[in-house]
Amino acid sequence: MWKDAKQLIQSILKEDWAKELPVHDELWNHLLDWISERILPEFTSFLSGQVDEIIEINPDLSEREILETVAKHMVHCLEARSASVRIFDPDTEQLLSYGSYPFEEEIRETYIPLEKSIAGEVVKTGRTRLVPNILKDDLYSDKAVIERKGAYSLMAIPLEISRFSIRERNTIGVIQVYYTEKDRVFTPLEIQLAELMAKRLSFVIARKKIKTMYRTNEKKDAIAQEVFQKLGTWEGVKMKDVFNRVIPELVDIINIESCALFSVADDLEHVVLEAGYPDNATRHGIGQKFPIHAEPAFELILNLRDYEEKSPNEIFTQSYLLVIDPQKTTLVSSKVKQFATNHNINSILYIPLRAGDDVTHFMTFDAVDQRRRFTDDEIEIFVFLGRELMTARRMERLDDILHDFKNPAIATAGFARRLKQLLEQECKLPENATIKKYVDIVFEETSRIQEMAMSISQVGREKVVNLTELSRNRFEINKEVIKELLKQNVNLKEGPFEDPLYIKCYPLQLERVLDNILNNATNAIPMHGGDLSIRTFSEGNQAVVEVMNSGTMTEEERLRLITGKTKGRGGYITHRIIRMLKGTIEVQSHEKKTTVTIRLPIYKTN
């Protein structure tokens, strides 16, 4: 066990306390063996147990709960009085209180400055700082707190959690462990153990970040799916319906009492409430205008005022404004404070939504909990939600326009038809008369407009359709596209087909998928020509349509297509629709050919 036993014994004997001890090699060897057999296993077991307790902390806990649990372990292991955690906020350049053991958050300062503080020195240097007597250290300004807590010495250990993506920063902070003794002497073993436990904390946070990233993507997919499904049915988009469907996805992130989406007027004089949750007149008056100058928070997120008086009652960054306590902040009006009191709102989050450099919309989230911080992942979900809702709002307005467009389109076509009939009945005009020619053109074009309006206004419903018949029809239409594109030497092959092959879907959506795939396949055929084919068949309980074309794609392009991350909207729409239909898309590209295969559940009749 002891590689340099003799050297170790000589080092011990040089200590003042050991000079009077007997110098017998046999005695010292027996002593070292005894330590090795009795003391070290127990100590190693204790040390590994303490580290394991840190590593095995449940990553499903919040970051604050994880840090508080670590503080608790360190207090018990180091036989300290208490411990606290502060995290550096780079936006405010202050250290945020982020948990303690025993719990003392209500009496601790929310923020302390980076400069002229013990925690700040540790964060800047990245080294542990020992304070044998806090009362004698000028960097610890609030001596009254120390007397009240009965803690007179401390060890401040740096904390660093590595970032997981380029857009993130490393999380840095400090764990402060307090002791009751004055003029305390810290042993090297205590320091190393404290630093080891702080470093192992990064493993717990890493596990949490992995789970959080997974949950973030799940949330974004769920939000997009709800919005996309609503848009895809062509039932008529209503923002209130979208709100009511997607807001429940955020419940486990923030205990939401209400939320709202505002648009910003071009003149920057007022904002308009576009949508709100819950949807009732007493909470949200949809369409109501609010003057920007009446709400300092509006001015702040719209960059119409500077954030000069920093306060512990709010956090302001380029990504969001968090009003921690609506009753104490100066950034909300008395009207909003009364609203918060009436509805038990204890913090308000403002998320600006940008188009380029300009904030065109923003969202507000009224929380029951008094939140002191939001993670980058949480903010990412809120911003993503806002952008999806902006898309839905634009679609709602377009839907309203199309609805109103139908009546004048039908009326105009009707008058054109009657005009044509009157002209034929009451006026004997030669066939080549200019007025007759113009009336015929007006009649034809207004009839086309009427057909378009009727087609657009059709209500979409899920139907049982024959996938084979639908595939044949879209392939036939694509033949005309090939003619229009003047594609030369394209060999078309249809079949073999399994007919019928029933699935349940929104026909319009599936037509869009097939059109997009056939269009991409046609465009990918080389200039000198090639093949384009389509076939259908069944595999177990799945209906399959397969499109093959000459030409290959790179692996990067193939992966983008099957994940829906293509540059154009077509790939994204195709991917979303197939997922909504509980189907899959596969792409294979080899031997100068590319094959796209779509599998959808077969509709089973009772």
What interhelical angle do 188-232 and 376-426 show, nearest 10?
A: 10
Residue position matching structure tokens 């973030």: 216
**pLDDT, tens digit, for every residue of 455-507?**
555 545 678 888 888 888 888 877 777 776 667 788 888 888 888 888 888 77
Is-contact 361 354, C-beta < 8 A? no
Residue 88 lies inside a defined structural domain of this protein: yes
CA distances from 600 to 86, 375, 510, 537, 582 (A): 52, 38, 11, 11, 7
- Confirm whether 221 is domain-assigned: no
Residue 64 corresponds to which tokens in the numbers above?
A: 């604050």
Residue 279 reports pLDDT greater than 70: no
Q: What does the pLDDT look like over 85-100, one tens digit per residue?
A: 888 877 677 787 777 8
**Residue 548: Cβ-neighbour burial (10 angstroms; 0-12, 13-18, 19+):** middle
- For position 28, what pLDDT does the model report? 72
Interval 30-55 mean pLDDT: 73
Strands 289-291 and 129-131: unpaired
| Residue after which a domain boundary falls, among 321, 350, 374 | 374
**Helices (H), strands (E): how many in the chain?**
16, 20
Tell me the residue type at 96.
L
Average the pLDDT over 55-82 and give the result: 84
Angle separating helix axes 467-484 and 507-524, nearest 10 degrees: 40
**Same domain for 340 and 479:** no
Top-confidence residue, 63 or 254: 63
Cβ atoms < 10 Å from Cβ of 299: 16
User: For 298, which DSSP code?
Assistant: H
Same-domain pairing of 15 and 117: no
Q: Are residues 75 and 116 both part of a single domain?
A: yes
Nearest to 74 by CA among 160, 171, 165, 192: 192
Question: Which residue among 335, 359, 374 closes a domain?
Answer: 374
Q: Using a pLDDT cut of 90, give the percent of the chain over it.
A: 6
CB burial string 572-584: b at 16+ within 10 A, e below: bbbbbbbbbbebe
Minimum mean pLDDT range among 51-55, 516-520, 581-585: 51-55
H or E element in which residue 433 lies: none
Interatomic CA distance for residues 51 and 45, integer angstroms: 10
Contact criterion met (CB below 8 Å) for 521 and 478: no
Does residue 179 form part of some domain?
A: yes
- Residue 266 and residue 155 share a domain: no
CA neighbours closer than 13 Å in the CB half-sphere of residue 485? 18
- Residue 133: the pLDDT is 92
**268 & 364 share domain:** yes
Residue 222: pLDDT over 70: no
Q: Is residue 482 part of a domain?
A: yes
284 falls within a domain: yes
Within 10 angstroms of residue 119's Cβ, the number of other Cβ atoms is 25
State what percent of residues in the chain have pLDDT above 70.
76
Look at 226 and 314; give whichever has higher pLDDT: 314
Q: How confident is the model at residue 61 (pLDDT cuts 50, 70, 90)?
A: confident
Burial of 359 (0-12, 13-18, 19+ CB in 10 A): middle
pLDDT interval class at 410 (50, 70, 90): confident
Higher-confidence residue of 323 and 488: namely: 323
Whole-number pLDDT of residue 459: 43
381 part of a folded domain: no
Domain-embedded: residue 382: no
pLDDT at 208 exceeding the cut of 70: yes
Q: What pLDDT is stored for residue 557 in this prediction?
A: 77
How many residues belong to the chain? 606
- Beta strands of 206-337 (E only): which ranges? 256-264, 270-277, 289-291, 314-316, 321-323
Domain that holds residue 12: 5-41
Find out whether 53 and 200 touch, Cβ atoms under 8 Å.
no
In which band, very low, low, confident or very high, does the pLDDT at 404 lie, cut at 50, 70 and 90? low
CATH number of the domain where residue 486 is located: 3.30.565.10
Burial of residue 206 (CB within 10 Å: 0-12, 13-18, 19+) is middle
Most confident of 48-62, 475-489, 588-602: 588-602
Supply the pLDDT for residue 155. 93
Residue 311 confidence (pLDDT) above 50? yes
Regarding whether 158 and 118 lie in a shared domain, the answer is yes
**Mean pLDDT to the nearest integer, 164-171:** 68
Same domain, 178 and 278: no
**Mean pLDDT lowest among 227-241, 316-330, 399-413:** 227-241
CA neighbor of 261 nearest in space, from 290, 222, 229: 290
Q: Determine the Cα–Cα distance for residues 407 and 479; give it in Å rounded to an integer.
A: 34
Q: How confident is the model at residue 127 (pLDDT cuts 50, 70, 90)?
A: very high
Mean pLDDT of 262-282: 79
Please report which confidence band the pLDDT of residue 156 belongs to, taking 50, 70 and 90 as the band edges. Answer: very high
Range of lowest pLDDT (342-351, 368-377, 559-568, 587-596) = 559-568
Residues 310, 363 within the same domain = yes
The domain total for the chain is 4
Domain match, 301 and 353 both: yes
- CA distance readout (Å), 408 to 80, 92, 234, 403, 404: 80, 57, 21, 10, 8
Tell me the average pLDDT across 400-409.
66
Q: Tell which wins on pLDDT, 251 or 386.
A: 386
Give yes or no: residues 189 and 333 share one domain. no
Q: Cα 575–581–586 angle (5° rounding)?
A: 45
- CB of 173 within 8 A of CB of 159? yes
Nearest in space to 105 (alpha carbons), one of 150, 47, 64:
64
pLDDT at 399 over 70: no
Claim to verify: residue 25 and residue 63 sit in the same structural domain: no
127-136, 245-254, 473-482, 525-534, range with the lowest pLDDT: 245-254
Could you tell me if residue 395 is inside a domain?
no
Q: Above 80 in pLDDT, residue 60?
A: no
Kindly tell me if the per-residue pLDDT of 302 is higher than 80: yes
* Crossing angle of the two packed helices 5-13 and 25-34, in degrees rounded to 10: 100
Residues 520 and 572 occupy one common structural domain: yes
pLDDT at 340 > cutoff 80? yes
The C-alpha atoms of residue 305 and residue 444 are separated, in whole angstroms, by: 57
pLDDT confidence of residue 565: 63
What mean pLDDT value characterizes the chain?
78
Pairing mode of beta strands 490-494, 530-539 = parallel
Residue 275: partners with Cβ closer than 8 Å, 6 or more residues away = 239, 240, 242, 243, 260, 261, 284, 286, 389, 393
Cα distance between residue 527 and residue 110, in whole Å: 67
pLDDT at 234: 45
**CATH at 189:** 3.30.450.40
- The DSSP symbol for 20 reads T
Which residues touch 466 (CB under 8 Å, ≥6 apart)? 499, 500, 501, 502
Residue 271's beta-bridge partner residues? 264, 290
Cα–Cα distance measured from residue 5 to residue 606, given in angstroms and rounded to the nearest whole number: 83
Compute CA 203 distance to the chain's CA centroid, rounded to the nearest angstrom: 22
What Rg, from alpha-carbon coordinates, does the chain have? 35
According to DSSP, the β-strands at 270-277 and 111-113 are unpaired
Rounded Cα distance between 394 and 440, Å, is: 36
For residue 174, pLDDT over 50 is answered with yes
